[in-house]
Amino acid sequence: MQVLITGVAGFIGYHLADKMLKLGYQVLGIDNLNDYYDPSLKKLRLENLVTHKESRNFKFLELDISCRNMMEDIFRDYQPEYVIHLAAQAGVRYSLENPHSYADSNLIGFLNLLEGCRCAPVKHLVYASSSSVYGMNKEQPFNTSDRVDYPVSLYAATKKANELMAFSYSHLYKIPSTGLRFFTVYGPYGRPDMAYYKFTKSILNGTPIDVYNFGDMLRDFTYIDDIIDGVLKALKTIPIETSSEFSNANAPYKIYNIGNNKPITLSRFICAIESACGVQAKRNFLPMQSGDVPLTYAEISDFSENTGFVPKTEIESGILSFVNWYKDFVDTEDDSGVSG
């Protein structure tokens, strides 16, 4: 089975490719290795895949999904059976500063991908959405039946647009598609722009950490191993053609939340990092940032019932795994003369 993974050098893409290679899949990975954060981490992930013991089943191509001609070539030349689309311009706060990069990657890039799936044709498209689509929704936990018409960031708006675009292609061309609304993914090889990464770096360096909304926040943190298990279960659960209670438009289409279903306080989160680091944090309390939300909480019963997904990792053990990886990563950088 050949699977195309976009964003393969990214955090989730890397772990997914690593797991799929171990399971015997043939993986075609693409990534543009952009500089949204330090490309050296992306290159390290990619190096691990290229030197993987199952690397004979892995092929990497460096390209940008917003390039229409290149995407057409990928689907024509390789004709992947399944597609897991993880490439995107990420980050809520970054979207306030660089909005056009979100249109290029998350909208034009996604359209190019859908066109490729139509022409291949692909047996199942699984793509990354985000808990950000819920915005400031009042109802908790967030349920996929909730209205998500009021995004509070451009990033969230592009992810909602992806869901609508995928539905139209599923309806018109009968492409089975599953969107996964990820809830705050963390773990080894994680993104340096995420809070847990920044907190760990600052705490070990003895510098203050910025605690937004004065610490009054809860997040549904989801460990990377649980996420990968969920993505693989979603890939095997191909949606059938149905209509919704709101429309007679039939489509083999599904949206799921993929989270831990156990939001924790920012205080507990920071304490877990302090314990793993063996150092107490210096806190700098600040108001809420634009585009951010005070609480994320995933309702996952539908996903669990349909796929068997059950998150297993508690925040303390997940953070400990990350911190242990981070210390080794920084030591490796220091030994090679690269700044951490």
Give CA–CA dist 291/91, Å, rounded. 10
* Greatest pairwise CA separation for the chain in angstroms: 61
Q: What are phi and psi of 8, to 5 degrees?
A: -70, -20
> Which position has the token pair 């592009």?
158
Q: What are phi and psi of 301, to 5 degrees?
A: -60, -40
C-alpha distances in Å from residue 64, one per residue of 76, 114, 320: 16, 15, 34
Q: How many CA atoms lie within 13 A of 191 on its CB side?
A: 19
Known catalytic residue at 155: yes
- The string of DSSP letters for 20-60 reads HHHTT-EEEEEE---SSS-HHHHHHHHHHHHTSTTGGGEEE
Give CA–CA dist 68/239, Å, rounded. 28
Encoded tokens for 291: 């585009």
Residue-wise burial string across 101-134, b where 16 or more C-beta atoms lie within 10 A, e elsewhere? bbebbbbbbbbbbbbbbbebebebbbbbbbbbbb
- The string of DSSP letters for 274-286 reads HHHHTSPPPEEE-
Q: Tell me which of 25, 82, 155, 189 is the catalytic residue.
A: 155
Going 306 to 111 to 292 to 147, the CA torsion angle's sign is negative
Q: How many CA atoms lie within 13 A of 308 on its CB side?
A: 6
Whether residue 151 contacts residue 106, with contact meaning beta carbons closer than 8 Å, is answered with no
Annotated active-site positions, please? 155
